[in-house]
Structures are given as C-alpha cells and as structure tokens.
Amino acid sequence: MKFGLGGYQEEELKKQKDIRLLARFVPLLTKNITMIVFSILLMVLLSLLDIVVPFVTRMVVDDYIMPSMADPDKSRYLMGAFWGGIALFGVALARLIFSFIQIMVMEYAGQRMMHELRIKVFSHIQALPVSFFTKNTVGRLATRVTNDIQNMQEMFTTVITFVMKDLFTLTGIIIIVVAMDVKLSLALFFVIPLVIFSTWFFSRYSRAVFRRLRANIAEINSMFSESTGGIRVIQLFSRQKQMMEQFKEINHENYLAGVSQVKIFGLFMPVIDLLSSFALAIVIFYGGGRAVSEALSLGTLVAFISYTKMFFRPVRDLSEKHNVLQNALSSGERITQILDKKVDETGGELALDGLKSLEFKHVGFAYTPGEDILKDISFELNAGESLAILGPTGSGKTSLINLIVKFYPRNRGEIRINGKDIDDYTTWALRNKIALVTQDPYLFSGTIRDNIVPPGTIMDTATLDAILERSHVRSLIDHMPKGLDTVLSQGGSSLSSGERQLISIARAFAREPHLIIFDEATSYVDTESEEKIRLATEKLKENRTSITIAHRLRSAMTADRIMVLKDGEIIEYGDHGTLMAEKGFYYHFQTLDKD
C-alpha cells in the first residue's frame, strides 16, 4: 500500500488461477441451478434449430431444385420447395419463442445472483475494522459494489449459457460436416489450431489491461466522490485548477488503458474474421472443384458453405466471450480481494450486563509499526465517575477513545472492563453500552425520528418526549415542518453544526449508555448552541460513567479526574484542584484559556 493522489494507492491484486477464482462463485450458481440448467437446455435447443437450417437447405436444393431443372413437370418439386420454406419459417418462429424465454430466465437468474453477491460484499465491508477504511476510499469501495459486480453479471448471464450453446453448436456442426464429407471437413478443420493460438496469444495481454481499467475506474470514482464532498473548500480556496490537473492525470491513465483494450480487441476480431474468410475460401475452392467434377452435390456444397459461416460464428462468439470473461475475472479478483479481508473478530463471547469499571494498564498503540501514538497509558475509571482528557493536537486523545470502543486493537498492555480483558466481551455487547458524541456528528439520511430512536426499538411517546426535553432538542423539532418525521438528506447538511449535535445527543440519550464519550461536542458551534449542548451533556452525564475530550477547559473543570496527554504519554493526572496546585501543563492551559 503506497500513497498516491487520493492518499493510499489501491492495493495490488494477487494473481489467482482462473479455475480457483471461478470456484469462489460456484455457490451463487448452485443456488440458482434450476434456472441455469433450464436456460442451458434452451440454448441447446436453439443450437439444434440453427444447425437444422443448412441441412433443410441442402435437402431442398438436392431433392427439389436440382431435379426440377431436368424434369418438365415441376409442380411436385415446387410443393417440396414450398414445404421446405414453411419448415424454415417454423424453425425461425420456434427460435424466436425459445430465445425470448431463455433470455428472460437467464437474466432473472443473473439479477438474483448479483443481488446476493452485492449483499454479501456490502455485509462484509460493514464488518471490516475501521483501519481498513483509512486505507480505502469511498469511491474504490463503491466501484466494487457497482461496476465490478455488474461485470460479474455479464459473465453469469452471457458467458455461461452462450459458451454452452457455442460449444454444442460447434460439436453439432463437426458431426454433420464429417458425416456429409470427410475430406471437405478436414479442409475446414485446418484453420482451428490457428484460431486457438490467436485466442491464447491475445488473452495474455487482455487480462492485465482489464485489471488496469478496473483500478483506474475505481480511482476516478474515488476522486470524484472526494472532490464533490469537499466542493465548498475547493471553491473557497480556489483549488479547482489543481483538482482538475489531478483528475486529468487519473483520467489520462484510464484513457491509455482503454486505448490498449481497443488495440487488443480491434486487432483480435479482424484476425478471427481473416481466418474465417480463409476457411471459407478453402471450402469454396476445394468443394467447388469437386462439385464441378460431380464428386460433390451442389446442395452439399451450399450446406458446407453455410456450416462454415456458422462454424466461425460461435468461434467468434467464444473469442468475444473470452474477453468478457477476462474482464469479469479482473472484477472477480477485486471482489475476492475485499471478501478475503479479515473482519473484526477481536470480540470474545462474554455478555456485558453493565459497566462497573474501566482500566488501562501500560497500554501502547501505534497505527504504523515503530511510530507509537500512545505510550504506557495507565488509569482506572469506576462506574459513575467522569474523566476529562486534555492535550495538544496529536497527543493521542482520539486514539485512546478508539481503543475503548475497539475501532483499533491495542499493541501492548491491558484494557480491562469489570476486571476482565476487553477482548473477552463481544464487540456488539461492548458498543451497545457506549455512546459516542463526536465533534462533527454523523446523521443518517432519513427522518429525525430514525436518527434518534435505535433501529428496531419501540419507544413510547412519553419516553421520547422526555429524551427530547433533556437533550434540549425540543425547540428544534417544533420548528421543523413535519417535526420528528422531517426527512434529513445528505447527513443533515441543511442543519447547523449545533442542531446536528443536539440530535446526536438525543440519540445518545435514547441508547441509554453506561459509558458516554464526548469528543468535545462544542467545538464547532455558536455561543447559544454551546450553552444548550453543555446543559444537554450535563444531563446525559448524570449517573453515568463519562469520558470527555476537552478542548475547552470549562468542560474539564468539573470532572472527577483529569488526564493531560502530551506526545502519547500521561504527563499529569488528578482533579482540578490538584493539577492547579502543581502549576504544570494544566495550570498553563487554564491561564491561557482565561487570557
């Protein structure tokens, strides 16, 4: 993993054998095996109908058209030709009906498989640790769930059934032409080794190009997502030109990969057409000579020419589907790369009924090996107590919180809940007892009610009203056009920072946490909103264990314990009075704050 234009570059794909990669998706096929088998049977039937046409044509030419030239009574020959035409029309009509049914069945199966795969990938992404998301942008992950899975659908809906159809068609043609004339069929088969070699030669390059295309599309989506999300900052600081230059660079890489794909495909298909024309020339030259010498009937020659054209149609299809397969496999590699990432399994099996104590013992942590963020952190917090954490930017305050909520695993030391290791408890049970109020709260798209009341929770009106009052969000709700049922879009972007913060505090109340963590909830708000948030947080802290990352010292003064961090180490620890008496770092913080 390296740094690029958008932070971390995309992780290089591990080369996988095609058979092993395809085997990863077999369970999706087995769940829809009935529809797939039915679709393949229909394709076999369609192949039979295709193969029948030249055979009927041969019969009409040899049995009716040619004899009629030497017989004055042409009426019976005309009826034979008429019924031959009716038979061909019937074949075409049957082909239309069965083709429609086959397409509907296979597309339905393909949609079901992609639905299941997309759910599987999304569910897996949701279970990945937070560290994964620091190295993978939204655009890259969105590409996996959309473009890459769509490519897989093409493989499931077209490659599988059409390959079976084409193989069956080729087999049928080979049997029929050999039965019609062995010598002429050998002239046709002379070209097959050249086709196989051409397919192998071009496939060596197409897979690498498709990999580049998929990665470049992910980078384009990633940059577009990031630049759109930060459009206000980009326009405010007039960074449009720089962003455009970066986008041009990424887009040019995608253009070059696309040109490479066009070159390969543009050369490959004409080569196949050239081999097809070469085979047809051989059949016409050799078969025409035998027909002139009356060693071969005209009907057989006409049928042979038709079968030669038909023979190279599935060959061409197989070549095209091979490219589709290579594209799909490159997407499959990217999907399995995500699915192979280990989910967050740091949780144990113990349930957590209540949080009685939290203890850190000589805890160390680093995001990157050798670059410690926290060093030898030790403290204890009992139920109902409050702890305020202070320190300059980069001192490790947020990192300490990340360890408590298990966003990241510690590297050294012990973190104990109720005297037991934090990893002994299930992650869900631990987080279910914790509420986190951040500086810039995240609100879900949906109604205000959905953002406050936990999913699947039935809450009576009296309880909800009490939460709204205690969180000081009642006045905001009353001014909304639909009250609690007002829909918020784009994470509540239409609300002010203070209003979003009050809703997040109401959400924390509804969770009924045993431990409440504040990452300085008043950092980005005005004075009026700050007072409302301060009153709401004081209510939320009542009879609860609380940890506050304090950027404003007013938030720390009332805490039972105050911890001062610097460069990842605890340099001061105690209550307000004790630390003021020591006249150390905290004392100077207070002096600067007053000034």
The string of pLDDT tens digits covering residues 391-400 is 888 889 989 9
Asked if 150 and 33 sit in the same domain, the reply is yes
Domain boundary at 310, 339, 368, which? 339
pLDDT of 338 higher than 70: yes
Mean pLDDT of 483-492: 79
Asked if 296 and 386 sit in the same domain, the reply is no
Q: How confident is the model at residue 412 (pLDDT cuts 50, 70, 90)?
A: very high
Residue 8 belongs to a domain: no
pLDDT of 595 higher than 60: no
Q: What is the pLDDT of residue 76?
A: 66
Torsion region of 442: left, alpha or beta (phi above 0 gives left; psi -120 to 50 gives alpha): beta
Q: Looking at per-residue confidence, does 345 or 180 come out higher?
A: 180
Asked if 333 and 363 sit in the same domain, the reply is no
Least confident of 141-155, 283-297, 525-539: 525-539
Residue 406 belongs to a domain: yes
Residue 443 belongs to a domain: yes
Contacts of 118 (CB under 8 A, 6+ apart): 145, 149
Mean pLDDT of 357-371: 91
Asked if 474 and 527 sit in the same domain, the reply is yes
The residue count of the chain comes to: 595
- Whole-angstrom Cα distance, residue 344 to residue 127? 6
Q: What is the pLDDT of residue 12?
A: 63
- Rg of the chain's alpha carbons, rounded to an integer? 36
Q: Looking at per-residue confidence, does 257 or 573 come out higher?
A: 573
Asked if 157 and 263 sit in the same domain, the reply is yes
Asked if 379 and 325 sit in the same domain, the reply is no
Q: What's the structural domain count of the chain?
A: 2
Mean pLDDT of 519-529: 61
Cα–Cα nearest to 508, from 435, 448, 419:
435
Asked if 128 and 174 sit in the same domain, the reply is yes
Q: What's the maximum distance between 2 C-alpha atoms anywhere in the chain?
A: 129
Q: What is the pLDDT of residue 525?
A: 56
Q: What is the pLDDT of residue 427?
A: 84
Residue 2 belongs to a domain: no
- Whole-angstrom Cα distance, residue 263 to residue 115? 34
| pTM of this prediction exceeds 0.85 | no
Domain boundary at 339, 370, 388, which? 339
Residue 1 belongs to a domain: no
**Domain extent at residue 126:** 15-339
What sign has the CA pseudo-torsion 175, 180, 186, 192? negative
Contacts of 363 (CB under 8 A, 6+ apart): 374, 376, 377, 378, 403, 410, 412, 413, 414, 415
Asked if 275 and 368 sit in the same domain, the reply is no
At 297, which CATH number?
Answer: 1.20.1560.10
**Identity (one letter) of the amino acid at 41?**
L
Domain boundary at 274, 308, 339, which? 339
pLDDT of 413 higher than 90: yes
Residue 350 belongs to a domain: no
Asked if 428 and 293 sit in the same domain, the reply is no
For residue 193 the two structure tokens come to 């080794």
Contacts of 330 (CB under 8 A, 6+ apart): 13, 151, 207, 210, 211, 213, 214
Residue 234 belongs to a domain: yes
Locus of tokens 């990432």: 341
Asked if 233 and 290 sit in the same domain, the reply is yes
pLDDT of 7 higher than 70: no
The model's pLDDT over 60-69, given as tens digits with 9 standing for 90+, comes to 777 767 766 6
Asked if 470 and 431 sit in the same domain, the reply is yes
Give the best-scoring range by mean pLDDT among 239-253, 318-332, 525-539.
239-253
Residue 335 belongs to a domain: yes
Q: Looking at per-residue confidence, does 188 or 584 come out higher?
A: 584
The model's pLDDT over 239-276, given as tens digits with 9 standing for 90+, comes to 778 788 888 888 888 888 888 877 777 777 788 778 87
Contacts of 433 (CB under 8 A, 6+ apart): 352, 354, 355, 513, 514, 515
User: How many distinct helices (H) and strands (E) make up the chain?
Assistant: 23, 14
Across 423-440, b (16+ Cβ under 10 Å) vs e yields bebbbebbbbbbbbbbbe
Any bridge partners for residue 569, and if so which?
566
3-state SS assignment for residue 107: helix
At 519, which CATH number?
Answer: 3.40.50.300
For residue 243 the two structure tokens come to 């962003």
